[in-house]
Amino acid sequence: MADIRGPWEQLPPPPVVEPAPQPPPPTPRSGRRGLVLLAVLVLGGLGAYALNRAYPGRLNGPMDWENLAWSGGMLALVGSSLLARRIPLGQALRYSLIWGALAAVLVAGYSFRDQFASWAGQVRSELDPSHPVALASHEMMLTQDTDGQYYAVARVDGQPVTFMFDTGASDIVLSPDDARRVGVDMAALHFDTPYETANGEGLGARASVHALSLGGLRLDKVPVSINQQAMRTSLLGMAFFKRLDSYSFEGKRLKLRWR
C-alpha cells in the first residue's frame, strides 16, 4: 500500500553537505627566486672577472665591455623570463643547463670555424681532386687524381675550364674547344708556332685572356697558346708556375703559394 503523508506531517531534514576542502595557499617563492637571480648575477660577475684574469687586455676597450654587458643582459632576460613563468627551480635549472650547452656548442663551432672549413675542404678535395683547398690567404692545395696527374677547374674570362698541371709544357695552353668557349676569335688566329707534344710536333697560335682565376689566385692579362689540334684538356705549364711565389709536390698533394 502506498505511503500517504498528511499535510501536517514533518518532512525529514535535508542532508548536510560539507564544503570541499580548499587547497592550501601557495608557498611564497619570491625570496627563493630572488636568491636564485642574485646567484646568477654573482656567478656572471665572477665569470667576467675570471675571463679578464685569464685573458688580460681583452676587456680594455669600450666595445668589449659593451659586448659583456649585452651578454649579461641576455642572461638576465632569460633568467627573469624563467622566474616570471613560475617554473619550478629544478626545471628552471635544467632549462638553463640546456641553453648553456647550446650556447657552448655555438661558441665552439664559431671558434673552430676555420678548422671545420679546412676539414670540409680536404674531404671535398678527396672526392673531387680538381677542387682546390685553401690552406691560407695565399696558399692552396690540390690532390692527385687516380691517373697520377693534377687537375683544377679554373675560370678563364669568367668561363670554367679544366686544366692539367704540366711542368713539361712551357706555356698555358688552351684547347680549341676551351678557347672558343672563353671567347677567343679562332678565325683571327695564326697557327704558326711549332710545339713539341706527346703526339709529336704540333702548331699553336699566340693569344691573350683578360683573367685566369683559380681558387683565391687571380692572374690578369695572361698570355696563352691555342693549340690547333684537339686536346683532351687544357694545360697549365711553366708560364703559370713562374707567376707563383713557389710550388711543391708533397706526396699526393700539390701546394701553390703566391704573393
Over residues 58-67, the pLDDT tens digits come to 556 566 666 6
8 Å CB contact between 68 and 55: no
Pairwise CA distance, residues 51 & 42, whole Å: 14
19 assigned to some structural domain:
no
8 Å CB contact between 241 and 173: no
| Window from 6-20, 131-145, 176-190, 239-253 with minimum mean pLDDT | 6-20
Q: How many domains does the chain have?
A: 2
144 assigned to some structural domain:
yes
Q: Which residue has the higher pLDDT, 106 or 235?
A: 235
Q: And the C-alpha cell for 147?
A: 691517373
117 assigned to some structural domain:
no
One domain for residues 85 and 157? no
Phi, psi (deg, nearest 5) at residue 128: -130, 90
**Residue 75: CA count within 13 A, CB half-sphere:** 21
What's the pTM? 0.56
Confidence of residue 36 (pLDDT cuts 50, 70, 90): low
Q: Domain range spanning residue 219?
A: 129-257
Beta bridge partners of 138: none
CA distances from 31 to 7, 82, 100, 144 (A): 66, 15, 25, 68
One domain for residues 79 and 172? no
- The most confident of 42-56, 85-99, 240-254, by mean pLDDT: 240-254
Amino acid at 186: M
7 assigned to some structural domain:
no
Pairwise CA distance, residues 223 & 208, whole Å: 4
One domain for residues 226 and 154? yes
Neighbours of 157 (CB within 10 A): 15
Neighbours of 42 (CB within 10 A): 10
* Domain termination residue (choose one: 52, 84, 111): 111
Phi, psi (deg, nearest 5) at residue 257: -130, 140
4 assigned to some structural domain:
no
pLDDT at 145: 92
Q: Write the CATH number for 174.
A: 2.40.70.10
